Amino acid sequence: MAITHTETIKGLEVLTANNDNIVRRIVVTIDSSDDSNPSKYKFTSTDTFDISTTGITTSTSGFVAYEDLTESIVKGWISADLSTSKQKGFNSSIINQMIEKEGYASTDKTIPW
């Protein structure tokens, strides 16, 4: 049994001080599932990542205009933080609890005599 995590960018917040659309915060949905039964043992949570914008302008080397951003580019900005997201551990814990409780499931049974 292995738990896999899939991250999807669900939102971007930009600075309002100007019209440059400089990204300040990234909202990510983390979908996690256990490969033993991914449709049954699954959990989703959200994580938020703040981006340092100090000194960033549209003239900064490597700056990508908002309309040219892709999910891959944005994930690249937070790849280290995303790989160690505490939400992945939380999701895994919930899924493991689901699996564990399944082992303790019981039902009333007619007495055999």
For the chain, give the percent of residues with pLDDT over 70.
Answer: 99
21: left (phi over 0), alpha (psi -120 to 50) or beta: left
The alpha carbon of 106 is separated from its chain's Cα centroid by a whole number of angstroms, namely 34
Residue range 4-53, pLDDT digits in tens: 999 999 999 999 988 899 999 999 999 999 999 999 999 999 999 999 99
